[in-house]
């Protein structure tokens, strides 16, 4: 007996080898079966034909048992791989099955619905299903929720069909969502609930379905099933909520909040659930926290405490989960209510600063932490905590050194010889003023690089869409230029931009003086100057910060103690011993500097200086002039005298470094020899030979150019 090929199968090849392979393949797929006898072989085509003929002959008989047997014989065939290939040539198959479905027998109806559900698993069958009234019949049957088995199989069938929009519209027109809502509210059978939730998952992909489902409170009822005993049911409910587009309607988020979605997630993620379960929970929480109202609700539901515990107790988590908890904690800072809760708990506030050190080689993670810190910068109380209790300035200095400066230092090393590198290394060692060596070593050991990728879209959007400052660095419309985002220096170098934005907020005149004074830090100023020197396209904020420090009137006493003229020379010039002080400011250089200090174009344009060295000289000239304007006032002079004569003040050296470079001649004579013994104090300093040399060289240079010759004699 010849073996018939499957319907619509491609023709076999003529070679014997390929024929053998096809025969093996056919055997493996069980396309041929032995019927009644080991000697009787029948093709799959005939097998399906015989089963359908049996259905056809039994549908009109009066024996329920015979009808049931025919259906049970055909049912396993409907689950086979490629079953639709054999069934689709029988045009009357669906009409036969629909006749069975109309029989008033629950067992028969249940079997027919199962067969239809199996057939509907093959998407190719949907076109013929739509040509029948099957969807209308099934939607009418689910109205009666008392028959749990029928309801279960109806929703299983509908869930397989509703992947096509036309089918979904038919279901909505038949008011399926009302029945779905009733089942989700009152049904207690886990299998039926699972099928119903699965069907709701498929329907929720269409906006017109979501609106009707919200009217029937389906989403709220699905949330109630998150607390079910069956793990499989909870997972299905989680997937349904995860796939629901909650962005399109506030009603969606309202039902989620009413369904206590956050209480479920907190309970679930704290427990030692399986990996898939936790992964779905993390994704769901990630989606929910994209929305402002959900972030606020999360904070009110003790979500911040939950994240804090997850961050601290991370021994049972993967590194990815641990970082994600920190990321979600950062994202929650966007809401005022959450910031208030974090600010009131030092343990929460410390999270941002603790992890600045541990992950500072991961720029995208750093950006996340810095953006979160930036959410607090317009709250003065938070700024006070940052600066006075969290060592904010020192943390920013650490980041500048280990993240920003290191790449520019490496670039410089590649362009310098060994002798020049040794000179620069010695100079850098002398500019470290406030950090203990042992403490630096401990911090260095804590800096552990993270090797996994951490580019979640939620966190990327949080960083990129957050504007932290009043200096909106966009080109003005009057310029007539359209700026591409990739030309903005703060987008190209986001990490250093965030550091400078945070420091800039402290430098504004509107910031309280008690906070601004912390910026007069020699280590910080040295790093900013060094950055300006090394970077051929520096962020304009670095220059603006130092400029504000020299322009602010109410912080003169801190400016005096900074020794800024010496720090400028030390960081701007490779050899201060041979530095030429002759420089005349020109209008072109001043124009470019004004752009750096005041114009938004500085963020988009790489300014072209006639001579690159002129850039540093122009900046130096402007800063020194600002210092001279402040220091040659009665208040500043009296303050210098008072400090030099104060026996309780030990470090007076940097006061003298500022004085010898910027005081006018008659004031300088008074400081050196009359009102105080500044000269003696200066000459007694031997702990910093370079600084002493610079001070006396500056003093001699000023004496040589003095108009009063007695000044030279003294």
Let me know whether 520 and 600 are in one domain: yes
Distance, C-alpha 15 to centroid of its chain: 59
Let me know whether 604 and 638 are in one domain: no
Separation between Cα atoms, residue 519 and residue 512, nearest integer Å: 12
Let me know whether 471 and 538 are in one domain: yes
- How would you classify the pairing of strands 32-34 and 41-43? antiparallel
Instruction: Reply yes or no on whether the pLDDT at 461 is more than 90.
Output: no
Let me know whether 510 and 464 are in one domain: yes
Please indicate whether residue 461 or residue 480 has the higher confidence score (pLDDT): 461
* SS percent in the chain: helix, strand, coil, step 5: 70, 0, 30
Let me know whether 396 and 542 are in one domain: yes
Q: Is residue 463 part of a domain?
A: yes
Which DSSP string do the residues of 301-324 spell out, in sequence order? Answer: TTHHHHHHHHHH--TTS-HHHHHH
Question: Of the ranges 54-63, 227-236, 507-516, which one carries the lowest mean pLDDT score?
Answer: 54-63
Let me know whether 589 and 454 are in one domain: yes
Q: Is residue 329 part of a domain?
A: no
The total of structural domains in the chain comes to 2
Separation between Cα atoms, residue 638 and residue 645, nearest integer Å: 11
Question: Of the ranges 146-160, 572-586, 591-605, which one carries the lowest mean pLDDT score?
Answer: 572-586
Domain boundary among 556, 581, 614: 614
pLDDT of residue 387: 92
Separation between Cα atoms, residue 681 and residue 651, nearest integer Å: 11
Q: Is residue 660 part of a domain?
A: yes
Instruction: Reply yes or no on whether the pLDDT at 289 is more than 90.
Output: yes
Let me know whether 698 and 601 are in one domain: no
Distance, C-alpha 197 to centroid of its chain: 31
Domain range spanning residue 588? 380-614
Q: Is residue 427 part of a domain?
A: yes
pLDDT single digits (tens) 534-589: 988 899 999 999 999 999 988 999 999 999 999 999 998 877 766 666 667 788 88
Let me know whether 526 and 559 are in one domain: yes
Let me know whether 591 and 650 are in one domain: no
Indicate the pTM of the whole model: 0.79
Q: What are phi and psi of 45, to 5 degrees?
A: -60, -50
- Contact status, residue 70 vs residue 54, Cβ threshold 8 Å: yes
pLDDT single digits (tens) 380-392: 899 999 999 999 9
């Amino acid at each position: 007996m010849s073996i018939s090929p499957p319907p619509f199968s491609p023709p076999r090849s003529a070679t014997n080898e390929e024929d053998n392979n096809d025969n093996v393949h056919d055997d493996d797929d069980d396309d041929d079966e032995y019927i009644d006898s080991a000697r009787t072989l029948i093709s799959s085509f005939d097998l399906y034909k015989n089963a359908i003929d049996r259905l056809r002959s039994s549908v009109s008989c009066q024996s329920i048992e015979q009808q049931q047997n025919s259906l049970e014989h055909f049912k396993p065939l409907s689950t086979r791989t490629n079953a639709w290939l054999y069934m689709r040539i029988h045009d009357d198959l669906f009409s036969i099955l629909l006749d069975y479905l109309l029989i008033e027998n629950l067992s028969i109806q249940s079997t027919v619905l199962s067969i239809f559900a199996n057939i509907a698993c093959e998407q190719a069958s949907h076109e013929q299903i739509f040509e029948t009234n099957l969807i209308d019949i099934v939607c009418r049957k689910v109205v009666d929720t008392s028959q749990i088995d029928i309801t279960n199989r109806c929703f299983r069938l509908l869930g397989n069909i509703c992947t096509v929009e036309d089918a979904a519209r038919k279901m909505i027109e038949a008011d399926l969502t009302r029945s779905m809502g009733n089942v989700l509210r009152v049904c207690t059978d886990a299998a039926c609930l699972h099928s119903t939730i699965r069907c709701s998952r498929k329907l929720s992909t269409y906006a017109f379905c979501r609106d009707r489902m919200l009217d029937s409170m389906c989403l709220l009822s699905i949330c109630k099933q998150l607390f079910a005993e069956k793990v499989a049911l909870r997972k299905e409910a989680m997937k349904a909520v995860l796939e629901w587009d909650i962005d399109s309607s506030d009603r969606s988020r309202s039902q989620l909040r009413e369904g206590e979605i956050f209480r479920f997630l907190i309970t679930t993620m704290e427990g030692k659930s399986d990996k898939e379960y936790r992964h779905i929970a993390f994704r769901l929480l990630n989606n929910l926290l994209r929305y402002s109202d959900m972030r606020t609700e999360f904070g009110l539901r003790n979500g911040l405490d939950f994240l804090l515990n997850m961050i601290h107790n991370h021994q049972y988590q993967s590194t990815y989960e641990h970082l994600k908890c920190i990321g979600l904690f950062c994202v929650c800072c966007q809401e005022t209510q959450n910031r208030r809760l974090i600010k009131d708990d030092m343990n929460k506030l410390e999270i941002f600063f603790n992890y600045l050190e541990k992950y500072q080689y991961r720029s995208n993670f750093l950006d996340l932490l810095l953006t979160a810190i930036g959410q607090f910068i317009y709250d003065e109380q938070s700024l006070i905590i940052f600066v006075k209790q969290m060592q904010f300035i020192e943390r920013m200095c650490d980041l500048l050194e280990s993240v920003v400066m290191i790449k520019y230092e490496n670039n410089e090393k590649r362009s310098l010889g060994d002798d020049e590198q040794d000179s620069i290394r010695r100079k850098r060692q002398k500019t470290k003023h406030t950090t203990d060596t042992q403490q630096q070593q401990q911090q260095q050991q804590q800096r552990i690089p993270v090797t996994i990728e951490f580019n979640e879209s939620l966190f990327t959007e949080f960083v990129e869409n957050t504007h932290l400052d009043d200096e909106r660095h966009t080109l003005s419309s009057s310029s007539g230029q359209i700026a591409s985002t990739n030309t903005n220096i703060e987008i190209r170098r986001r990490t250093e931009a965030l550091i400078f934005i945070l420091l800039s907020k402290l430098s504004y005149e509107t910031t309280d003086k008690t906070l601004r004074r912390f910026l007069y830090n020699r280590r910080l100023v040295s790093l900013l100057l060094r950055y300006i020197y090394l970077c051929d396209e520096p962020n304009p904020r670095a220059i603006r910060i130092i400029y504000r420090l020299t322009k602010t009137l109410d912080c003169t006493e801190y400016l005096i103690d900074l020794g800024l003229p010496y720090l400028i020379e030390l960081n701007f010039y490779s050899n201060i011993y041979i530095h030429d002080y002759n420089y005349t400011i020109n209008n072109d250089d001043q124009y470019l500097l004004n752009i750096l200090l005041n114009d938004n174009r500085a963020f988009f344009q790489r300014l072209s200086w006639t001579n690159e060295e002129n850039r540093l000289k122009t900046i130096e000239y402007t800063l020194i002039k600002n210092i001279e304007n402040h220091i040659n006032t009665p208040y500043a002079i009296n303050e210098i005298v008072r400090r030099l004569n104060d026996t309780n003040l030990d470090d007076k050296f940097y006061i003298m470094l500022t004085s010898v470079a910027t005081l006018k001649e008659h004031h300088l004579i008074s400081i050196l020899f009359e009102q105080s013994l500044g000269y003696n104090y200066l000459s007694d300093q031997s702990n910093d030979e370079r600084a002493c040399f610079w001070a006396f060289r500056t003093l001699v240079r000023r004496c040589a150019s003095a108009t009063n010759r007695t000044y030279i004699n003294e």
